[in-house]
Amino acid sequence: MGLLEGIIYIVSLGIVFQDLSNIWNIGAYVVGFSAGLLLGGYIERKLAFGYVTYNVSLLEQCDDLVNTLRQAGFGVTVFTGEGINSPRYRLDIVSKRSREKEFLQIVNTIAPKAFLASYEIRSFQGAI
CA distances from 66 to 3, 89, 103 (A): 46, 11, 11
Band of pLDDT at residue 120, cut at 50, 70 and 90: confident
How many Å apart are CA 56 and CA 3, to the nearest integer?
Answer: 40
Is 56 in contact with 107 (CB distance < 8 Å)?
yes
The predicted-structure confidence for 74-103, as pLDDT tens digits, reads as follows 989 999 988 888 888 999 998 888 888 899
Helix (H, G, I), strand (E, B) or coil at 39: helix
The predicted-structure confidence for 25-79, as pLDDT tens digits, reads as follows 888 888 988 998 899 888 877 777 788 899 999 988 899 999 999 999 998 999 9
Evaluate if residue 106 carries a pLDDT over 90: yes
Is 53 in contact with 93 (CB distance < 8 Å)?
yes
pLDDT for res 74: 92
Evaluate if residue 128 carries a pLDDT over 60: no
Could you tell me how many residues make up the chain?
128
111 sits in which H/E element = none
pLDDT for res 29: 85
- Average pLDDT rounded to a whole number, residues 2-29: 84
pTM for this predicted structure: 0.65
How many CA atoms are closer than 13 Å to the CA of 67, on its beta-carbon side?
4
